[in-house]
Amino acid sequence: MSAFPFEIHATDGKARTGVLKTPRGDIRTPAFMPVGTAATVKALYPEQVRQAGADIILGNTYHLMLRPGAERVKRLGGLHEFMNWDGPILTDSGGFQVWSLAGLRKLTEEGVEFQSHIDGSKHQLTPERAIEIQADLLGADISMQLDECTNFPCTKDEARASMEMSLRWGARCKAAFGERDTQALFGIVQGAVYENLRKESAQRLVETGFDGYAVGGLAVGEGLETMCEVLDYTVPELPADRPHYLMGVGKPIDLVEAVARGIDMFDCVMPTRSGRHGQAWSDFGPVNLKRAEFAEDTSPLDASIDCPASRDYSKAYIHHLVRAGEYLAAMLLSWHNIAYYEQLMARMRATIAAGTFDQFVTDFRARWAEGEARRG
Amino acid sequence: MSAFPFEIHATDGKARTGVLKTPRGDIRTPAFMPVGTAATVKALYPEQVRQAGADIILGNTYHLMLRPGAERVKRLGGLHEFMNWDGPILTDSGGFQVWSLAGLRKLTEEGVEFQSHIDGSKHQLTPERAIEIQADLLGADISMQLDECTNFPCTKDEARASMEMSLRWGARCKAAFGERDTQALFGIVQGAVYENLRKESAQRLVETGFDGYAVGGLAVGEGLETMCEVLDYTVPELPADRPHYLMGVGKPIDLVEAVARGIDMFDCVMPTRSGRHGQAWSDFGPVNLKRAEFAEDTSPLDASIDCPASRDYSKAYIHHLVRAGEYLAAMLLSWHNIAYYEQLMARMRATIAAGTFDQFVTDFRARWAEGEARRG
């Protein structure tokens, strides 16, 4: 019944590695999707994103519907053509961004009305419109259902009401999407940090039937331990033969812990946002290149990563660029960070395939803890 | 007597084309040098600068002595190593930047004292220190003498006094530089818009003896016509067998008119600065990509230029990126502009070599005038 074949090549504990096959190319899982909010992965050229190892990127319904406008993107040949990215694109539904608007939105059963953060103009997003924008106008390979995100923390009653709304919106998205051969639709599990709500949300989504299943409403301040608990009881409820996508996560350690719990796909603005703020990611955590200690450090960011930004420039030079506020600082650090994230996924795919993922996780946790201890 | 052989392969009227040979590579002339103020050509990777056709770039003594510091650059292996550029580098002496500081500087016969625009710290630049920074610490292939720039407009008395100071500083720079096999030193003609001062400045510089001769103090508001007049009477005073460098110029039409008057080298921040402000350069002048007319224009900036930024992205996409304030807007437009400038130099080299430069200039002036008329 699914649009995209999902081949699982190996498992190691709950961790899986495989390939999600799409008409625009294979997505090797576990996969990290760089975020191209406004039709660009910030400070990177599309070919750098591809060369860094990304098989798929994410686009944002909310941003693109406001600027340049979904109908305009359609007239310009769709999002792939518009932004020079011929690989698969997953679009979020806009639910999370609209939720972030707080006072500027009004929620009803029909959908959500909101004001543009750009010019204050009024817009509406319904499940049907979210599908039209993503699948028909932007031409996303993978569309996400419209969902309601819940505040953290929230009461169980609030979480249930919100989850029920998301389930009804999910069913409307499914109906609007219909059956398609070359595009997929993912549902989103909600339920905050309440085990029975998460399980019920997952089960009822599966009854509706989606091409993949996302876990939403995490990475909103609950912390790594709570996130892991939610994944521990949620992921087993999802069909094993469909991709599992953890939305908006996260730090490298979060990715490792989530893969160990059966997650196949991720997206996060962290590598590019950090890159614009002078930070380079590593197995030991973030490194702030602005620090004086790097002023005469001639070593590269990470010679083991096959990326010019990681390998060919000294920390001293990048330190200088950060201090001087130069474009090239953000360009090099964002590029390195995407390459690091993609290399981390490749290492997880390889160790799962080799049956040594447990050891990888143990070693990674140790490096991460060492980094945290060092930073104090 | 000169460090770098300068082979002139062809002339057409006053225009010349050839090669300035340096230990770090040949500089095809007429040459445009992208400006790498703070050890980076803003928003470009070094390999993009090279691929766009630049044989040499410019670095700024003033900026680099303040941050990261010339001694630090030396400890880090010199400017080439520091910024990953293995081709020739010309550094300006800092005279022009310090002159721009206005109230923050104090000029004496010895040199100039000034306050850093970054942290207000006090610094001194003398002819001897300017050479030490450029040739010994940064490791520039071509160093420029320290000069005093004159305000525009200025009286003839002011212009003479300033020119005399620059000549004395030039002689001190020459003495400090000494004789070097692998590095060159250029003198700078001053004299504002006074013909006899310019001629005298040129003649006395030649008596001192430099590896190349720059025309300074232009592009400060005098306009194209006056600039051409100054070049008309100044360039013939310069040794024909040495490179002629017009500092800080300019728009494409300025380059064409200056090459027609015997100039071999240029530098200007315009292509990269314009790129950060949404403008693309062309034979018809600047194009402001922010304008609504480009919102659905699927044509590229210039398909005739062998540069991905010029060829592979639609104006509609770049329009969107400019409106959204995305890094990629500055990255693509700066890259295109450098490629356009370098292609313009290549077209001039080719038409001079073919003996058709006159026709090229006539055609170029017509396109430029058409563009100006269109913009109104």
Using alpha carbons, select from B268, B278, B285 the residue that is nearest to residue B34: B268
Tokens of A269: 């603005």
SS3 string of B250-277? CCHHHHHHHHCCCCCEEEECHHHHHHHC
What is the three-class DSSP state of B184?
Answer: strand
* A200 min Cα distance to partner chain B (Å): 40
| Residue among A116, A317, A333, A338 with most chain B CBs within 10 A, to mutate | A317
Inspect the interface and report whether the beta carbons of A328 and B40 lie closer than 8 Å: yes
List chain A residues with CB under 8 Å of B317.
39, 76, 82-84
pTM to 2 decimals? 0.98
Using alpha carbons, select from B80, B100, B85, B16 the residue that is nearest to residue B52: B85
* Amino acid occupying residue B80: H
Which pLDDT score is estimated for A311? 98
Residue range B93-101: average pLDDT?
A: 87
- Could you tell me which residues are beta bridge partners of residue A143? A91, A185
Residue range B71-97: average pLDDT?
A: 96
**Does A376 have pLDDT greater than 90?**
no
Inspect the interface and report whether the beta carbons of B321 and A40 lie closer than 8 Å: yes
List chain A residues with CB under 8 Å of B38.
320-321, 324, 326
Element of type H or E holding B157: helix B156-177
At B154-179, the pLDDT tens digits run 999 999 999 999 999 999 999 999 99
**Does B2 have pLDDT greater than 70?**
no
Query: What rounded mean pLDDT belongs to chain A?
Result: 96
At B260-276, the pLDDT tens digits run 999 999 999 999 999 99
What is the distance between the alpha carbons of residues A180 and A297, in angstroms, rounded to a whole number? 54
SS3 string of chain A? CCCCCEEEEEEECCEEEEEEEECCEEEEECEEEEEECCCCCCCCCHHHHHHCCCCCEEEEHHHHHHCCCHHHHHHCCCHHHHHCCCCCEEEECCHHHHHHCHHHEEECCCCEEEECCCCCCEEEECHHHHHHHHHHHHCCCEEECCCCCCCCCCCHHHHHHHHHHHHHHHHHHHHHHCCCCCCEEEEEECCCCCHHHHHHHHHHHHHHCCCEEEECCCCCCCCHHHHHHHHHHHHHHCCCCCCEEECCCCCHHHHHHHHCCCCCEEEECHHHHHHHCCEEEECCEEEECCCHHHCCCCCECCCCCCCHHHHCCEHHHHHHHHHHCCHHHHHHHHHHHHHHHHHHHHHHHHHHHHCCHHHHHHHHHHHHHHHHHHHC
Which pLDDT score is estimated for A340? 98
Tell me: cis bond preceding B46? Omega within 30 of 0 counts.
Answer: no
Residue range B223-241: average pLDDT?
A: 97
Facing A40 at nearest CB: one of B68, B323, B326: B326
Query: What rounded mean pLDDT belongs to chain B?
Result: 96
Using alpha carbons, select from A250, A204, A212 the residue that is nearest to residue A228: A250
Residue range B74-96: average pLDDT?
A: 96
What is the three-class DSSP state of B242?
Answer: coil
Inspect the interface and report whether the beta carbons of B68 and A38 lie closer than 8 Å: no
Work out the pLDDT band at A268, boundaries 50, 70, 90.
very high
Angstrom CA distances, A64 to A49, A118, A365, B115, stand at: 20, 12, 38, 46
Which pLDDT score is estimated for A2? 64
**Does B216 have pLDDT greater than 80?**
yes
Facing A38 at nearest CB: one of B82, B312, B324: B324
**Does B96 have pLDDT greater than 90?**
no
Q: Is A147 a catalytic residue?
A: no
Which pLDDT score is estimated for A149? 87
CA B151 to chain centre: 19
* Amino acid occupying residue B260: A
* Amino acid occupying residue B330: A
Q: Are the beta carbons of A83 and A77 closer than 8 angstroms?
A: no
Q: How many residues appear in chain B?
A: 376
Q: Is B12 a catalytic residue?
A: no
What is the three-class DSSP state of B118?
Answer: coil
Residue range A61-73: average pLDDT?
A: 97
**Picking from A128-132, B80-84, B85-89, B94-98, which range would have the lowest pLDDT averaged per residue?**
B94-98
Find the farthest-apart pair of alpha carbons in chain B and give their distance in angstroms, rounded: 60
Interface confidence (ipTM) of the complex? 0.98
What is the distance between the alpha carbons of residues A31 and A29, in angstroms, rounded to a whole number? 4
What is the three-class DSSP state of B105?
Answer: strand
For B311, the closest chain A residue by CA position comes to A84
What is the distance between the alpha carbons of residues B273 and B221, in angstroms, rounded to a whole number? 18
Q: Are the beta carbons of A299 and A314 closer than 8 angstroms?
A: yes
Which pLDDT score is estimated for B151? 85
At A361-372, the pLDDT tens digits run 999 999 999 999
Burial of B179 (0-12, 13-18, 19+ CB in 10 A): exposed
Using alpha carbons, select from A347, A286, A351, A338 the residue that is nearest to residue A56: A338
Using alpha carbons, select from B177, B212, B215 the residue that is nearest to residue B27: B212
At A194-249, the pLDDT tens digits run 999 999 999 999 999 999 999 999 988 899 999 999 999 999 999 999 999 999 99
At A302-329, the pLDDT tens digits run 999 999 999 999 999 999 999 999 999 9
How much of chain A exceeds pLDDT 90, in percent?
A: 93
Which pLDDT score is estimated for B324? 98
Facing B320 at nearest CB: one of A44, A68, A312: A68
At A147-201, the pLDDT tens digits run 998 888 999 999 999 999 999 999 999 999 999 999 999 999 999 999 999 999 9
How much of chain A exceeds pLDDT 70, in percent?
A: 99
Angstrom CA distances, A76 to A137, A139, B292, B295, stand at: 10, 11, 15, 10
